Every structure is written in structure tokens, then in C-alpha cells.
Structure 1
Amino acid sequence: MKRKIAAIFAADIAGYSRLVAEDEEETLRRLASYREVVDDFIAKAGGRIFNTAGDAVLAEFPSAVDAVRCAIDIQESLRTRNMAYPPSRQMSFRIGITIGDVVERDGDLLGDGVNIAARLEGLAEVGGICVSRAVHEQVANKLSVQFADIGAQEVKNIPTPVHAYMVAMRREDGTYAKPQLKKAASKVAAAPVWMWPLVVAVVSIVAIGVSGFLYNTKLKQTASVAARAASPSASPSALPSATPAATTTAPTPMPTQLAKAPMAPTNAGAAMAPMPAPSPSAAPMTGKLNADSVPFINERVRNYLAGDYSAAGDYKAFALNVGGFTGSALNQPSEEAARNSAIEQCQKRADAAQSPRRCELYAVGNNVVYTHGKPPMPPQPFVRHDAVIERPFASKDFPIVREPQKVRLENIFAPAAKARSVALGPGGQYFMVLGASSADDAARRSLESCGAIAGVACLVVAIDDNFVVPIPTLFRITGFFNAASNASIVADARGEVMRKLTDAMGWNAVAVGIAGRPGLGLKAADEQTAVNSALADCAKRDSDCHVIAIGPFTVGPVN
């Protein structure tokens, strides 16, 4: 046996016994599939599984940073897989992590470190991660992770409370879900036996004093009431009148259910740029309802708004969210009932699909009341098909986003029904539209939703089975390229670069030298030819040239 310090990772499945009882074969099959994901992430992060039992996994890592990063990747990947199942059949892990002194015996690890990790796992939310204070101190300044301090927690078979932190888990759109804070432990030390007579005496004296004070106060109140009653000028204060609400069959949702504000999020993409609220800089939309101007919705809903909704009388309302979920209410007994019913219907649909975006009123009656402006959109045409640069969609090559998002694209976008589109924001925000009536409709809706989430215009990256923009393979994609604001290019040359790149089909590359003088490779048949042409063009007017952009993306050397 030998002792060592290790980061201990403990995980098991929430509600596993219920899942087995409902469908044993399907649960065991999915457990094997999910364990492959967990085991693979642990191995890639340099961890070692030292014990398993049923649905539980215990692993050690050389560092807390590796353990937490691995846990986040596991939870994000499994959350994506769970989206294919109804909430009652989802298989979600809880994960606990601590740093502790452990004893190794025949490959197994024993000791308080293992026990505390298991107790932290029990404190974690479903699909969440709970870590000890030691882990938090190691990780807080090394990973872009948000924590919620839940204080000291009393846990079974551990003599002293464990100070714990919840990891704020990222939603599918890049925002963070705020963990539910658990009540901190509070131990009150037992008083010595000799103190009890003193305590009783003090309590008795206080009780007598309070009783006397209340008795005197009661006498004064009684006298005051009698004096007011005897005075002819005194009049009783009016009670607030209760106005009966209009009867409606649509229940009113609680405000907290309709306006859950996420924590200040970090973007899901590699750039980790903050994700703004929908169209924060645009003025609210007002005026008369025009079905053709409503964002996020499909043609069926648009036709409904232009027909049945517009023709209906008051009271009516229409609600939506940026994910395209909608709700409407017609012929309600009051405007308030219409508002509540529309939002409730929309929110139920969004919640059933696990959409993280809340629903908001778009129209009341025939008047638009949407508090956000139109989502930022790129100029048309949204997609320019070019056989030279198009190639089959492969989730592993999807630019900017992290590995869990690539897994989600592989599991959801790739096999989905046509027409489908995925739009990408400059900070890694993205949005998919699946099963649309046409490729144009899919492209528009994905751009609207992505733009509302990102706060800036997005780019359609894939339509159906193909990438529709050039995806560099010789360089690492680092972001979106905008010649007008690119600091690498000398200011007086940016306008010329923009002009020459406009409407240039095929592969295009931009290189700059030490003085910021650009060179362009335009309308090439392949990536390498565009790169070579850009470097050669740059060398004519500058030195130490290097490629900074290919197609719509900024690029850097491959890691």
C-alpha cells in the first residue's frame, strides 16, 4: 500500500433504479453506450478508472483542472444525447470531485478522499457537478467556469462539514444555468451541563420582562381604541376593495416561470465571448402586426397569423421565443387572459423541447408589443452555392465550436430531416433549423435565431448535407474575418480588400506582411492555390508575409 494525493472523481446516474424498473433492457443498453462516452473522456483527460459498481464510476486524475474539465465535457456530451429522449427516460449523471489523501491497494483507492468525492456527487444536481473547496481553489483561475458557493455541507460518515461549490452548467445556447443553492450546514455546540441552570434563569427573567411589556402595550392599545371610538371626528380607515378577476379557463403562469434570468453567461464557442441578450441594441418592435415581418417562425405559423389570427376579434395575443416556439390565444374574456394564455402555451411547448429561451409577447390584439428589435441579419443572398468550395458536412470540421457542440451536431443535425440549416456566430454561438419547408426558409430562420442570440449577424455554414462556405483545413479557424476592422491590415488598404473580396467565388485567401500590406489570392480552385497566391501577392509589397484569412474566417497556425 502507498499513499498519494489525487483528484478523485465520483459519478453515478440519478434515478437509475427507477429507469431499470421501467425498462431494464433499454436502460442497460444505454448505460453501456453512455459509459463508453464517460470512459473515453476520462482516458483523454489522463484519468484512470479505479472502481466501478453498477452505474457508479470512480476515477483519479493527476490534477483538479483535468478532472473538472473532463466532468464538464462529459455532462455536455451526455446532455446532447439525452435530448433524443423524453424527460422521464433521460439518463443523467451526478458528478463529485475533490482532492484528497488516498491509499492505493491493488489498483483500488481508499480513504477520505474517495468518500468525500462520493458525498459531493450526492450533493450535485442532476446533470451537474459539485466540487470541494480545495478543487475550487485549484480551478477557479484556470478554467472559464462559473461556480456557486453552497457553503459547508454535513454529509454522511464525514465528521466535519465539507465546504462545497456547484459548477454552473452551460445550456445548449451557451448560457449558464444557475445552480440551486443548498442550505449550508450549521452545527450548534452543546452547552456544558453546568450552564443549564443559568440558561433557565436567564430565560425566565426575559419571559417575565416580555410578558410585562406586552401587558402594558395591550392596555395602551385598548385605551387608544376606546378614545378613537368616542371621538365623533374619527372615521375607520377604508379596507382595500377586491375587484373580481375576469373568469378564464386559461391559468395564469407564475412570473418566475416566465422570466428566468440566466447567469451572465460565457459563450459556448472556443472564443469564449459573452453572449448578449436578443438584439440588445435594436429598438423595440411596435406598430400593426404584419405576418411577413415576424421573425423565427415557419411558414405554417406565418399563414396562421395572416389568416385566422388577424381575422379574429379581441381579446387575442401571440407569443414566441427566439427558438421559434409560439403560442396564441383567441377570443379570450379579457386582454390579460389572452396575454397569459399565449405565453403559457408557448412556454409549455418550449419547455417540452428543453428550449432554454423564455417566451415573450409579440402581439396583443393586432398590435406588436415585442420588446426586442429585429434580429441582426447579413445581406442577401443568405447562401451562395458554389460547387468549388462546397463539400459534405462533417461535424468534426465544424468551425469555432467546442467538442461537445460537435457531438451535438453529429447526433442531431447530421441525421435530421431536410431542409435543415445551421448558422454560426462570430463567438461560436450557433442555431440549427431542422425539417423546414425549404432550404431558404431553413437558412433564414437559423440566421434570425442565431443573430438574436449572438447580437450580431451570423453566417450560414451548412445546408442539408453540405458545408456552403469554405472550411479551411491547412490552418486553424480562429474567428470571423472582417476586412473593414481587421487590425492586421493597414487602414488605407482595408477598403480595397473589401471591394475585391465582394462577390469573389471559389477559394479566397488574405495574407499580410510586417507592415500590414495585404496580398490576395482570389477565385482559386482549391485552398492551397489561394494561399500560395495570397503569399506571392503580399511578397510584392511587404515582407514576412503570413496568411490571416481564408474565405469568411480568420485563421492561425495549426496547433
Structure 2
Amino acid sequence: MKRKIAAIFAADIAGYSRLVAEDEEETLRRLASYREVVDDFIAKAGGRIFNTAGDAVLAEFPSAVDAVRCAIDIQESLRTRNMAYPPSRQMSFRIGITIGDVVERDGDLLGDGVNIAARLEGLAEVGGICVSRAVHEQVVNKLSVQFADIGAQEVKNIPTPVHAYMVAMRREDGTYATPQVKKAAAKVAAAPVWTWPLVVAVVSVTGIGVTGFLYNTKLKQTASVAATPTAAPSATPSSMSSAMPSATPTAAAAAPSPMPTQMAKAPMAPSSASAATAPIPAPSASPMSGKFSADSVPFINERVRNFLAGDYSAAGDYKAFALNVGGFTGSALNQPSEEAARNAAIEQCQKRADAAQSPRRCEIYAVGNNVVYPHGKPPMPPQPWVRHDAMIERPFASKDFPMVREPQKVRIENMFVPAAKSRSVALGPGGQYFMVLGASSADDAARRSLESCGAIAGTACMVVAIDDNFVVPIPTLFRITGFFNAASNASIVAEARGEVVRKLGDAAGWNAVAVGTSGRAGLGLKAADEQTAVNSALADCTKRDSDCHVIAIGPFTVGPIN
């Protein structure tokens, strides 16, 4: 462990839980897009993401000026993106910044500096920035920024008040908004002791009155119900569970938190929401519909697919098929009504999912021979999904799994490593991951892991491991911070991105990208090892630019050398 002084940047999405509850898939998709913006600005400003937790980001900067300038750029960029959405669906960050003495341990930063930055973020306005006095003193004469002094603020778990300033954000017309200071709730004076008997008496009388009213109301409701004719009971649905393979799908949904949707905020490794190496298709906004085809059903194994192509397709109405993104399914054939078929299929699927502690709910995919799935097809990367390359493949090791924290690495070690072949792990740009275990083939495992991971992440994922090997280059000389997309990477000057994309192309072996102060890129291609690729990229960059540094290795963006 070592101590150092750093400018700490903490960002979090305001109202994230509400946004997820209202539209989970759309929120996760936009989070990935917005995180790409945030991560790119942080990297461009010389910052380093050292921790993330769902929608939150923690980063360090070499100076307070760089941190504040980066925060302003982020807020103004995201404000423009939010204009395309109604106010209730806008996704806005709060940002807090301080300078503090922190302890670095295994790349993570700990200490009061990190805690204070997080508390300042909580004080910030939606779409705003709140900084400590130390930061204000560093930047007040260096940036054309207006501040509002909000004084000493008492914050949770910090023994002394924190003197804070709000950054005045620029409006569309060029003027500056006046920050609104959050006022603490006024403390209520304690009531005199003699008032308590009076309070008790009033509460008791009120309680008696309310109880009498509710009792009389209940009597009236009971009488009303008794006078209403009872509906005839419907026929009990007979679910045809024996007709469908009942084996539990051998898939394990996982993310950097206990829930695949990342709703929990457990600490996780730095993760970027950048796109993957190849262009990523946007998830379909419209539900899946049309005639049922077993070949088009996502998430399922081949045994279930064969059942759907045979017994299910041949059965008459009424029938239904349900699934969840973890690959759990349920079906009902020859039911007395469409509603009975729906209910039976959902019930069977949900029982299987609950028994395996799958957190994803089951939904109806097909009724009769018609697809009625409420979601679009899961976003998938272009094929081939796996490219075997002896120069970059190496034995799988859970400790080297990218973009996740230790608890997730332990889970992968306990589940993936001992599982039967064929098995695959797909990784999303937001740190989501999905394991498929004991599949019929490596191709089947890869497909299913990508489909489920893509549905959870809201964007295309990448297969990082098949059976006993990593199938993408896993950097060890640098810290992985996210997915790399040369076509949109802000560190590379715009006119050079096309050439970088073309040269990377299908280059086998280890590939590295370096950039200088002007954004001119240098490439190290088709190297036999990581160090050679890095050296070649830096040497190529220095021919065009100055102060070159490595920004990507293989499909990953990378940070400073460990």
C-alpha cells in the first residue's frame, strides 16, 4: 500500500433505481452509452477510473483543474444527449470532487478523500457539480468557472463539516444557472414532558374512532360481497410438463453485483461502456412478433429447441411457451383456453427459475404459433463470435478475468472452472457477464452466453473464454478499463479513426494502440506478445506525435501501467 495526494472524482446517476424500475432494458442500454461518454472524457483528461458500482464511477486525476474541467465537459455533453428525452426519462449525473490523501491498494483507492468526494456528489444538483474548498482554491483563478459558496456542510460518516462550493452550470443561452443549496431538515424541538399524557389520550381516542369506522365499513363490504353471485370456477389447467425437457438450463447469469441488472451497487472494477471492437447493433425497440420458429428462439439449449421444433410445433391450440434471459423455460400444451396456456407456461418457467435462484422473471414468448415476446432480439456482435488465435490464447485464470471485482472472480472460479464442457463466458461493456455451462458444443455455449449477456447489458457482449482458455488477449502490463472501439474513441483525432479501424481489421496476434497529445495514433500489430505490441505502438506514435501513451490492447481500453 502507498499513500498519495489525488483529486478524487465521484459521479452517480440521479434517480437511477426509478429509471431501472420504469424501463430496465432501455435504462441499461442508455447507461452503457452514457458511460462511454464519461469514460472517454476521463481518459482524455488524464484521469483513471479506479472503481465503479453499477451506475457510479470513481476516478482519480493528477490535478483538480483536470478533474473539474472533465466534469464540466461530461455534464455539458450529457445535457445535450438528454434533450432527446422527456424530463422523466432523462439520465443525469451528480458529480463531487475533492483533493485528499488516499491509500492505493491493488489499484483501488481508499480513505477519507474518496468518502468526501462521494458525499459531495450527494450534495450536487441533478446534472451539477459540487467541489470541496481545497478544489475551489486550486481552480478558481485557472478556469472560467463560476462558483456558489454553500458553506460548511455536515455529511454522513465525516466527523468535521466539509466546506463546499457548487459549480454554476451554463444554460443553453450562455448564461449561468444559480445553484440551489440543499437545505437540511429543521430540527424539531423536544416536546415538554407534561404533553405526553395529553398526546397518549388523543391518540387513544382517535384509534377507537378509526377502529369503529373500519369495523362498520368491513361489515358493509362483507354484506355486499355476499350478495354478489359467485363466478363459476374455471377448469384447472393441466400443464404438459412431461412433454417438455425438464432439465434445468445449465446457464449461470452473473453481473458485477448479485443481480444481473446491476441494480445493487457492490464495488466492481473499472468498466467502460464503450462499444466492442466491431460495430454493435442497437437492441430492437419493437417487440418480437410473427410466426413461431424454433430456430429463432433466444437463450435456450438445443434440447429445448428440438422439443419446440417437434412436440410444441405439432401440438394444436391452446398452447404457450415462456422463457427468461437465463435460459429457463416452461410450456403448456392442449389447454382449455389461451389464458390457461399462458398461466401454466409462466408458472412452470418461474418455478424452474426460482428453484435455481435465477433473478430474472419469466415472460411469454409464444402463444399458439405466434410470437408475442415483449422485447426485441438480444443485441449480438457480428460473426464469427470466437476467433481462435494461438498467439493470444492462454489458460483461463479467474484472477485475470477482466472488469470484475474479487467477489465475482471467486464466483467464476467456483462455478465456471469446475463445470463440464462446453462452457463459455461473455462479458459486457458495463462489466456484466454471463456463463453458460455444459452446453452441447462450444458454438452453442458462445451463442447462448452472448444472447443472455446482450439482453442484460442492452448492448452486444464479447466472448472472453471458452472451456479452459481465454480466447481474447488479456492485458497484464496495463489495467483494463473497458471495451475499445477505434471508430468512436475520443482519444484518437477524428480524421485518423478510419485508418486505425482499417489497419486493425482482422490483424491476428497482439495489437496495441497509442496516442499522443494531438490524438495521432500509433499501432503495434500482429505481435507475438503484449510487450512487443506496446513497444511497436509507442514507437509508431512518436513518429507522428509527442507524449505518447498506450490507450488500447486488443479489444480493451487500458489505463496506466500497474
Residue 224 and residue 314 in structure 1: after superposition, are their counterparts in 2 closer, same or farther (change >3 A)?
closer
Deviations 1:420-468, CA, capped at 9 Å, x for gaps? 0000001100000000000000000000000000011000000000000
Asked whether the equivalents of residues 520 and 535 of structure 1 are also in contact (C-alpha less than 8 Å), the reply is: yes
Residue 133 and residue 375 in structure 1: after superposition, are their counterparts in 2 closer, same or farther (change >3 A)?
farther
Is the radius of gyration larger for structure 1 or structure 2? 1
TM-score by length of 1: 0.55
Query: How far apart are the structure 1 equivalents of 2:36 and 2:496?
Result: 52
Structure 1: gaps (5+ residues): none
Residue 540 and residue 318 in structure 1: after superposition, are their counterparts in 2 closer, same or farther (change >3 A)?
same
Residue 130 and residue 437 in structure 1: after superposition, are their counterparts in 2 closer, same or farther (change >3 A)?
farther
The percent identity for this pair of structures is 91
2:274 equivalent to 1:273: no
Residue 137 and residue 515 in structure 1: after superposition, are their counterparts in 2 closer, same or farther (change >3 A)?
closer
Deviations 1:232-286, CA, capped at 9 Å, x for gaps? 9999999999999999999999999999999999999999999999xx6531100
How far does residue 205 in structure 1 lie from its aligned partner after superposition?
Answer: 11
Asked whether the equivalents of residues 319 and 346 of structure 1 are also in contact (C-alpha less than 8 Å), the reply is: yes
Residue 451 and residue 151 in structure 1: after superposition, are their counterparts in 2 closer, same or farther (change >3 A)?
farther
Asked whether the equivalents of residues 8 and 97 of structure 1 are also in contact (C-alpha less than 8 Å), the reply is: yes
Asked whether the equivalents of residues 505 and 523 of structure 1 are also in contact (C-alpha less than 8 Å), the reply is: yes
Asked whether the equivalents of residues 294 and 308 of structure 2 are also in contact (C-alpha less than 8 Å), the reply is: yes
Which position in structure 2 is the counterpart of 1:339?
342
How far does residue 384 in structure 1 lie from its aligned partner after superposition?
Answer: 0.4
Which position in structure 2 is the counterpart of 1:255?
260
Deviations 1:524-548, CA, capped at 9 Å, x for gaps? 1111111111111111111111111
Query: How far apart are the structure 2 equivalents of 1:445 and 1:139?
Result: 50
Higher deviation after alignment, 246-255 or 287-296? 246-255
Structural RMSD (CA): 16.8
Asked whether the equivalents of residues 250 and 437 of structure 2 are also in contact (C-alpha less than 8 Å), the reply is: no
Asked whether the equivalents of residues 171 and 356 of structure 1 are also in contact (C-alpha less than 8 Å), the reply is: no
Asked whether the equivalents of residues 248 and 337 of structure 1 are also in contact (C-alpha less than 8 Å), the reply is: no
Higher deviation after alignment, 104-113 or 384-393? 104-113
Query: How far apart are the structure 1 equivalents of 2:250 and 2:553?
Result: 62
How far does residue 138 in structure 1 lie from its aligned partner after superposition?
Answer: 25
How far does residue 498 in structure 1 lie from its aligned partner after superposition?
Answer: 0.7
TM-score by length of 2: 0.55
How far does residue 558 in structure 1 lie from its aligned partner after superposition?
Answer: 3.0
Deviations 1:370-402, CA, capped at 9 Å, x for gaps? 010000000000000001100000000000111
Asked whether the equivalents of residues 416 and 435 of structure 1 are also in contact (C-alpha less than 8 Å), the reply is: yes
Which position in structure 1 is the counterpart of 2:95?
95
Asked whether the equivalents of residues 48 and 60 of structure 1 are also in contact (C-alpha less than 8 Å), the reply is: yes
Which position in structure 2 is the counterpart of 1:194?
194
How far does residue 102 in structure 1 lie from its aligned partner after superposition?
Answer: 26
Structure 2: gaps (5+ residues): none
Deviations 1:8-35, CA, capped at 9 Å, x for gaps? 9999999999999999999999999999
Residue 464 and residue 356 in structure 1: after superposition, are their counterparts in 2 closer, same or farther (change >3 A)?
same
Residue 123 and residue 304 in structure 1: after superposition, are their counterparts in 2 closer, same or farther (change >3 A)?
farther
Asked whether the equivalents of residues 130 and 166 of structure 2 are also in contact (C-alpha less than 8 Å), the reply is: yes
User: RCO greater where, 1 or 2, for CA within 8 Å and sep 6 or more?
Assistant: 2
Residue 14 and residue 302 in structure 1: after superposition, are their counterparts in 2 closer, same or farther (change >3 A)?
same
Query: How far apart are the structure 2 equivalents of 1:376 and 1:336?
Result: 30
Asked whether the equivalents of residues 482 and 558 of structure 2 are also in contact (C-alpha less than 8 Å), the reply is: yes
Which position in structure 1 is the counterpart of 2:328?
325
Asked whether the equivalents of residues 389 and 509 of structure 2 are also in contact (C-alpha less than 8 Å), the reply is: yes
Query: How far apart are the structure 2 equivalents of 1:387 and 1:106?
Result: 30
Query: Between Structure 1 and Structure 2, how many residues are aligned?
Result: 556
Residue 266 and residue 198 in structure 1: after superposition, are their counterparts in 2 closer, same or farther (change >3 A)?
same
Asked whether the equivalents of residues 252 and 337 of structure 1 are also in contact (C-alpha less than 8 Å), the reply is: no
Residue 292 and residue 181 in structure 1: after superposition, are their counterparts in 2 closer, same or farther (change >3 A)?
farther
Asked whether the equivalents of residues 253 and 340 of structure 1 are also in contact (C-alpha less than 8 Å), the reply is: no
Higher deviation after alignment, 509-518 or 156-165? 156-165
Higher deviation after alignment, 185-194 or 369-378? 185-194
How far does residue 316 in structure 1 lie from its aligned partner after superposition?
Answer: 0.5
Query: How far apart are the structure 2 equivalents of 1:377 and 1:441?
Result: 14
Higher deviation after alignment, 44-53 or 402-411? 44-53
Deviations 1:471-504, CA, capped at 9 Å, x for gaps? 0111111100000110010101111111111111
How far does residue 357 in structure 1 lie from its aligned partner after superposition?
Answer: 0.6
Residue 404 and residue 540 in structure 1: after superposition, are their counterparts in 2 closer, same or farther (change >3 A)?
same
Asked whether the equivalents of residues 321 and 358 of structure 1 are also in contact (C-alpha less than 8 Å), the reply is: yes
Residue 245 and residue 326 in structure 1: after superposition, are their counterparts in 2 closer, same or farther (change >3 A)?
closer
Residue 211 and residue 276 in structure 1: after superposition, are their counterparts in 2 closer, same or farther (change >3 A)?
same
Deviations 1:31-86, CA, capped at 9 Å, x for gaps? 99999999999999999999999999999999999999999999999999999999
Which position in structure 2 is the counterpart of 1:232?
233
Q: SS state of the match for residue 10, structure 2?
A: strand
